[in-house]
Amino acid sequence: MGVEVWLLLVVGVLMALAYSRWRHSYWSSRGVPTPPIIPFLGHIHALFLKGLKPLLYENEVYSKYGGSTFCGKYEMFRPILVVGDLELMKHITVKDFDYFTDRRNFTLTNEGDDVMNDMITNKTGNEWKTLRSIMTPTFTSGKMRGMYPLVCDKADDLVSFSLKEAANNPHIDMKHNFGRFTMDTIASCAFGIECNSFENENSEFPKAAASFFQLTWKRKLSIIFLITLPKVFKFFKLRFNPPSLDFFAEVVKETIAAREKGAKRGDFLDLLMEAGKDNPEKKQVLNYKSILAQSILFLIAGYDTTASTLAFASFFLAKNSTHQQHLRKELQGIVKEHGDLTYQGIMEAKFLDACLLETLRLYPPAPMLERQCTKDYQLPGTELKLHKGDIVQFPVWSIHHDPKYWPEPNEFRPHRFMPENRDNITTFTHMPFGLGPRNCIAMRFALMEAKVALGKMILAADLQLAPGYEEMEVEFGVGILRPKNGVNLILKPLSEE
């Protein structure tokens, strides 16, 4: 190569670096600190890290680079504001919610992903508000009570299947079994569909659900493309969802068709279909596509989050036999008092509640939350003005593990959440279900479901860690934290008293 070519190359590289530096000056020009920036990548490299490492990196951003108050990051050139200050979080998610009604929304152009554009998680502004008000009545306490017997049936299936499996194997993967349970439960409660994942080993449901959350390299790359180069993603019509989405779409389509002909069940699907009918009082109507989208979302959102929570909780209890025995005693007392594990009894089980809340603190399935600024906003008590479109992230994982709020943060200590200790918990430091009006719509359902399954398992068997599986390995993909290689436990059946 001649000198001119080298010179051109060097000038080209220098110009590219100058461009990257200029794009990465968004925060510094506003006086906002940032962790060390990698040219072009910004801070996106963390997404390539394995296991817990992306979250440990976020922890550094939080504790070393200002994230516990606020600091800036870049996903390639896209600026993100990390806000860990509790007062500011309260402003953004609750007090000034009108400025932050949305999450980051993606327009997916591949035909196979189309249904995702209509999901409530991806909706903005008034469209979100209307959808949310239509969907909210599905999760009132009256509805929960009505669904309780269905959830109990599925939990009984879980227990008998797990015990049978344990009788023939030295240890069993409870993450797998909890996944079957949550899939059967949500399908039954929301749609009246019987998946029978326990009876039918080859049931399509758990297979499709599992593949939805599998983080292949192709999937990881597609997520990175979607986040960093949405225009390229859109142009090439890349597909975000695995083909298992099509399976869920088919199931829901068939169920809607059957409902149109048949009797009502008063469940989630009925509510959506009623809202879709031409109703002069409700100006906004839900069309078929929207009903389909919300239904699929429920199957997806209701499966892995709750199954992972149950898997993590059973791991912690197997590891801490004192807590496990304490929980069993509480549950036995409830059965004695109420004759069974009734809805009321389960709601009164304080230690069961505490075990799940502590599990969700240690391993929140959604370890980061996001909001998008919808109109220019002056961050209270600061000089910083956020612009429409800016993304704000809340470091859930780091706050949940901050020793300032949680002494010995890595220890599983359910007693933190017992009523007598609740006053020691700082508001806004425990947010596994998100914050404010855009929090998890199904929190009540998820907790009820998890309590029934965990309660019944603990009453039926002693849980012990299997040799060689004493440490929890996690993966953080598709935005969700989950056990990487399942949760392998030995189940010792307990005789009924």
Strand partners, 465: 489
How many residues of this chain bind ligand HEM (CB under 6 A)?
Answer: 25
Binding segment toward ligand HEM, per CB under 6 A, in 23-31, 66-74, 216-224, 440-448: 440-448
- Nearest distance in Å: CB 311, ligand HEM: 11
Residue 446 touching ligand HEM (CB under 6 A): yes
- Nearest distance in Å: CB 28, ligand HEM: 29
Site for ligand HEM in 370-429 (CB under 6 A): none
Distance of CA 7 to the CA centre of its chain: 51
Q: How many other C-beta atoms are found inside a 10 Å radius of the C-beta of residue 446?
A: 24
Draw the binding track, 128-147, toward ligand HEM (x: CB under 6 A; -: no contact): ----x---------------
Residue 148 touching ligand HEM (CB under 6 A): no
Taking the least distance from each CB to ligand HEM, the nearer of 27 and 394 is 394
- Nearest distance in Å: CB 302, ligand HEM: 3
Residue 483 touching ligand HEM (CB under 6 A): no
Site for ligand HEM in 47-76 (CB under 6 A): none
Please select the residue that binds ligand HEM; options are 120, 210, 349, 490, rule is CB under 6 A: 120
Please select the residue that binds ligand HEM; options are 166, 440, 454, 489, rule is CB under 6 A: 440
Taking the least distance from each CB to ligand HEM, the nearer of 171 and 482 is 482
Residue 442 touching ligand HEM (CB under 6 A): yes
Site for ligand HEM in 351-380 (CB under 6 A): 365-366, 369
- Nearest distance in Å: CB 106, ligand HEM: 14
What are φ and ψ of residue 104, in 5° steps? -60, 130
Strand partners, 474: 483
Taking the least distance from each CB to ligand HEM, the nearer of 222 and 309 is 309
The tokens of 90 are what?
């309260």
Draw the binding track, 193-232, toward ligand HEM (x: CB under 6 A; -: no contact): ----------------------------------------
Q: Which amino acid is at 94?
A: V
Q: Using CB positions, name the residue nearest to ligand HEM.
A: 434
Please select the residue that binds ligand HEM; options are 434, 455, 483, 486, rule is CB under 6 A: 434
Q: Measure the CA–CA gap between 147 and 186, rounded to whole angstroms.
A: 10
Draw the binding track, 277-306, toward ligand HEM (x: CB under 6 A; -: no contact): --------------------xx--xx--xx
Taking the least distance from each CB to ligand HEM, the nearer of 10 and 443 is 443
Residue 445 touching ligand HEM (CB under 6 A): yes
Binding segment toward ligand HEM, per CB under 6 A, in 84-92, 201-209, 210-218, 435-443: 435-443
- Nearest distance in Å: CB 205, ligand HEM: 15
- Nearest distance in Å: CB 437, ligand HEM: 8
Site for ligand HEM in 301-340 (CB under 6 A): 301-302, 305-306, 309
- Nearest distance in Å: CB 128, ligand HEM: 6
Taking the least distance from each CB to ligand HEM, the nearer of 147 and 465 is 147
DSSP 3-state of 173: strand
- Residues engaged in binding ligand HEM (CB under 6 A): 120-121, 132, 186, 297-298, 301-302, 305-306, 309, 365-366, 369, 432-435, 438-442, 445-446
